[in-house]
Structure 1
Amino acid sequence: MKIVIAPDSFKESLSAKLVCDCVEKGFKQVLPKADYIHLPLADGGEGTVDVILQNLAGSRQREQVAGPLGHPLDASWALIDDGNTAVIELAAASGLDLVPHKQRNPELTSSYGTGQLIKAALDLGVQKIIIGLGGSATNDGGSGIVQALGGQLLDEAGNELKPGGAELSRISSINLTNLHSRCHEVEVVLACDVTNPLTGHNGASFIFGPQKGASKKQVERLDLALQRFSKVAQQQTGKDYSQTTGFGAAGGAPLGLSLLFDIRIESGIEMVLDLLHVDTVLAQADLLITGEGRMDNQTLNGKTPIGIARRANAKKIPVIAIAGSLGENIDTLYGSMNAVFGSVRAAQDIKQVLEEAEANVIRASRNIAANLVLGHQLGSRLP
């Protein structure tokens, strides 16, 4: 019996690799002779570099860069494909988890550090850059990335803007004369799991600004600032990206990146699945087990479990999902998954849930395996 275990991480508690270990440990208590294949996954957000390096030949690169508030930090990225492709997470240098809760303010945070990672990749001569857009702390339209790669964002007096989303309200012109010389030589793919446009009530500021620390008034100011940046950028590109699908990801980072590269936006999970040759891994599998920290109807929006489940569906492989917790409207998942299980054993505070995550996943996995065996035993007796 071939069982493929392919989850995302359980945020703040278990890495995707550790989830794989826990599921196998629980299943082996009941099915010790099964063949277990681990395929830890990510959808382009936090953990993507780790997942790529766990599954593919490559090397981890490290750079000291500016964090979201300008403080120096060490960030890593991956070099794969014999050094021809870089995999960069925006969250590694400009992520929300890098900013203490009390200091979160997307009017001030910048994507400059991500630009520094891209520069490092360009300096090494890569031909392709994959950028995961999940988990950002920023709402600066990727302006920090532009500045890190040599672009100048200027106010009416010709002074360069300071970092942060609020500064974009003063932008008057863009000077790209001194861009990194290799910007137009590389293929750039943005791994994205959202479809929101850049501006408006469904855009970057209104939808994602509050979770990055923005108040209602700040959200309104940030949206106006992105509108202004978009109009000035249109003078450079000849294109209005204000309502383009996906440009609301990572605080509008695709807008700044569009000034530098000929970008292509792809589903984060689909890109990762293709990189890892998942269809080959799934060949002849009898069961797929996937999951993430919390599952609900939002899982359908390009998250890891739905992405891998649909690949399994195409091969008629049964799918079971295990989550830390289950939200509302999980019935929508049953079209792609045979069963969905929560693993938390009782009502608990979040601290206790995170501390017990490993034991909870092992226990849930053991019980699922036991039910599979019981179902097999009962199968011949059912009418």
Structure 2
Amino acid sequence: MKLLFASDSFKGTLSSDQTIELLTKAAHEVFGDCETSGVPVADGGEGTTEAVVKARNGEMVNVDVHGPLMETEHGFYGRLSDTEAILEMAAASGLPMVPEEKRNPLNTTTYGTGELLKAALDAGYKEIAIAIGGSATNDGGMGFASALGIKFFDKDGNVLEGKGSDLIKVEHIDISGLDPKAKDAHFTVMCDVTNPLCGPDGATYTFGKQKGGTPEILDELEKGMQNYRDVIKKEFGIDVDTIQGSGAAGGLGAALKVFLDAEMKSGIETVLDLIDFEGRLEGVDVVVTGEGRTDWQSCFGKVMQGIGDRSKKHGVPVAALCGSLGRDYDKIYAHGISSIMTTVDGPMPLKDALDNAEDLYYKGAVRMFRFLKAGMEMKK
């Protein structure tokens, strides 16, 4: 019996690594002498760098950067090989870095994410993966591009800082100062949204509210984003609203495409490629995956969908252990997931479930493996 464990983290309670430890313990309790292995996974949001670095036996590299409000922060990126690196904007421009009372996308910037990328380029990496989930920003990627040497000017020739409130002021973009090392590198962007830059489904109106935008602020930002779009079209002949994902991360997607010609890919698909997940399926009898809550959204670029689809392609069944189930959770069955079991073992307040997450997960794993063992005995 050979088992492979590849579960997402349970936000706020269990890390991906912890699920591997608990599943391993439970599997040996039920099956005795079985072969187990585990690989941490993430879908392109917060925690992606750490998961991939651990899976690849890489190294975390610390970098001092500027946060969303230009405060000093301790960021990081991951070294995967002599030529490959990975970074996530959540480490420099993430929403949790801004106190709730200070959240206003007019004032935040992606400058620190640009600093992370520059640090990786300066270290000589030429294949760089960038996870752009969880941003606090709506600056169209102006701050990010500014950190790489691109300049944005207002009508009076002044260089703009590159925050949300500057979008409406952009008159001219000078890319001549772009770090030359960026021209020799290939960038893969982990992005699971297809929103355009502007409009009702664009960066501002879709994601701006959760970043602290009031209706008035959002209207101001949208006007600025439209101006930014128009300047890009005038100077580079590119209509970013026709590019899927240009509205991701408050418009950082647009900057990555226009200024770096980055390749947009699904977050989970990129992670699975980076950790050679399919290579790890060799000889595996069952894969175990899971997440904190499974519902209809799980089928759109999340860990369980990615793990299930890749395993199904190789004829390996997948069992899932999840914290809870929501609306249309059963749609995940179409993506190679054979069975789902929840960690909670009875009605309980959410706080109790979170406070006892480790114990509940372990007991749930034991129940799941007992079911698998019963199925194996029936087959005999």
Name the TM-score class by shorter chain: over 0.9
Deviation (angstroms), 1:358: 1.5
- SS, match of residue 253 in structure 1: helix
Deviation (angstroms), 1:346: 4.5
Identity of aligned residues (%): 37
**Aligned residue number for residue 8 of structure 2:** 8
**C-alpha separation in 2, matches of 1:366 and 1:149:** 51
**Aligned residue number for residue 245 of structure 1:** 244
Deviation (angstroms), 1:184: 1.2
Q: CA distance change for structure 1 residues 2 and 242 in 2, over 3 Å: closer, same or farther?
A: same
Whether the 8 Å CA contact 1:68–1:138 is kept in 2: the answer is yes
Q: Which amino acid aligns with 1:151?
A: I
**C-alpha separation in 1, matches of 2:168 and 2:346:** 48
**C-alpha separation in 2, matches of 1:244 and 1:221:** 23
Q: Which amino acid aligns with 2:267?
A: G
Q: What's the CA shift string for 1:3-23, capped at 9, x where partnerless? A: 111011112222111121122
**Aligned residue number for residue 230 of structure 1:** 229
Q: Does residue 334 of structure 2 align to residue 341 of structure 1?
A: no
Q: Normalized against structure 2, the TM-score is what?
A: 0.94
**Aligned residue number for residue 217 of structure 1:** 216
Alignment of 1:31-46 (within 5 A): 31-46=31-46
**C-alpha separation in 1, matches of 2:137 and 2:347:** 34
**C-alpha separation in 2, matches of 1:347 and 1:99:** 35
- SS, match of residue 202 in structure 1: coil
**C-alpha separation in 2, matches of 1:199 and 1:230:** 8
Alignment of 1:362-377 (within 5 A): 362-377=362-377
Whether the 8 Å CA contact 2:4–2:281 is kept in 1: the answer is yes
Q: What's the CA shift string for 1:2-43, capped at 9, x where partnerless? A: 111101111222211112112222333212222111011012
Of 224-233 and 35-44, deviating more is 224-233
Deviation (angstroms), 1:263: 1.1
**Aligned residue number for residue 287 of structure 1:** 286
Q: Which amino acid aligns with 1:30?
A: V
**C-alpha separation in 2, matches of 1:369 and 1:129:** 39
Q: Which amino acid aligns with 1:23?
A: L
Alignment of 1:61-210 (within 5 A): 61-82=61-82, 84-210=83-209
Whether the 8 Å CA contact 2:130–2:189 is kept in 1: the answer is yes
**C-alpha separation in 2, matches of 1:23 and 1:237:** 52
Q: Which amino acid aligns with 2:38?
A: H
Whether the 8 Å CA contact 2:53–2:59 is kept in 1: the answer is yes
- SS, match of residue 180 in structure 2: coil
**Aligned residue number for residue 300 of structure 1:** 299
**C-alpha separation in 1, matches of 2:143 and 2:354:** 34
Alignment of 1:344-363 (within 5 A): 344-363=344-363
Q: Which amino acid aligns with 1:42?
A: A
- SS, match of residue 338 in structure 1: strand
Once superposed, what is the RMSD of the aligned Cα atoms?
Answer: 1.8
Whether the 8 Å CA contact 1:61–1:77 is kept in 2: the answer is yes
Gaps of 5+ in 2: none
**Aligned residue number for residue 324 of structure 1:** 323
**C-alpha separation in 1, matches of 2:333 and 2:157:** 57
Deviation (angstroms), 1:183: 2.1
**C-alpha separation in 1, matches of 2:204 and 2:157:** 27
Alignment of 1:257-272 (within 5 A): 257-272=256-271
Q: CA distance change for structure 1 residues 228 and 346 in 2, over 3 Å: closer, same or farther?
A: farther
- SS, match of residue 240 in structure 2: coil
Whether the 8 Å CA contact 1:5–1:38 is kept in 2: the answer is yes
**C-alpha separation in 2, matches of 1:189 and 1:255:** 14
Q: What's the CA shift string for 1:41-64, capped at 9, x where partnerless? A: 012221111112212143221111
**C-alpha separation in 2, matches of 1:116 and 1:139:** 17
Q: What's the CA shift string for 1:70-108, capped at 9, x where partnerless? A: 1101011012222x1221111111111212222222221
- SS, match of residue 65 in structure 2: strand
Q: Which amino acid aligns with 2:309?
A: R
Whether the 8 Å CA contact 2:197–2:241 is kept in 1: the answer is yes
Deviation (angstroms), 1:305: 1.0
Gaps of 5+ in 1: none
**Aligned residue number for residue 59 of structure 2:** 59
Whether the 8 Å CA contact 2:257–2:263 is kept in 1: the answer is no
Whether the 8 Å CA contact 1:290–1:321 is kept in 2: the answer is yes
**C-alpha separation in 1, matches of 2:121 and 2:377:** 59
Deviation (angstroms), 1:163: 4.0
Q: CA distance change for structure 1 residues 243 and 347 in 2, over 3 Å: closer, same or farther?
A: farther
Q: Which amino acid aligns with 1:178?
A: G
Of 218-227 and 258-267, deviating more is 218-227
**C-alpha separation in 1, matches of 2:53 and 2:195:** 29
Q: Normalized against structure 1, the TM-score is what?
A: 0.94
**C-alpha separation in 2, matches of 1:214 and 1:344:** 36
Deviation (angstroms), 1:350: 4.5
**C-alpha separation in 1, matches of 2:177 and 2:313:** 48
Q: Does residue 48 of structure 2 align to residue 48 of structure 1?
A: yes
Q: Which amino acid aligns with 1:104?
A: R
Q: CA distance change for structure 1 residues 59 and 378 in 2, over 3 Å: closer, same or farther?
A: closer
Of 9-18 and 252-261, deviating more is 252-261
Deviation (angstroms), 1:111: 0.5
**C-alpha separation in 2, matches of 1:224 and 1:26:** 55
- SS, match of residue 353 in structure 2: helix
- SS, match of residue 218 in structure 1: helix
Q: Which amino acid aligns with 1:365?
A: A
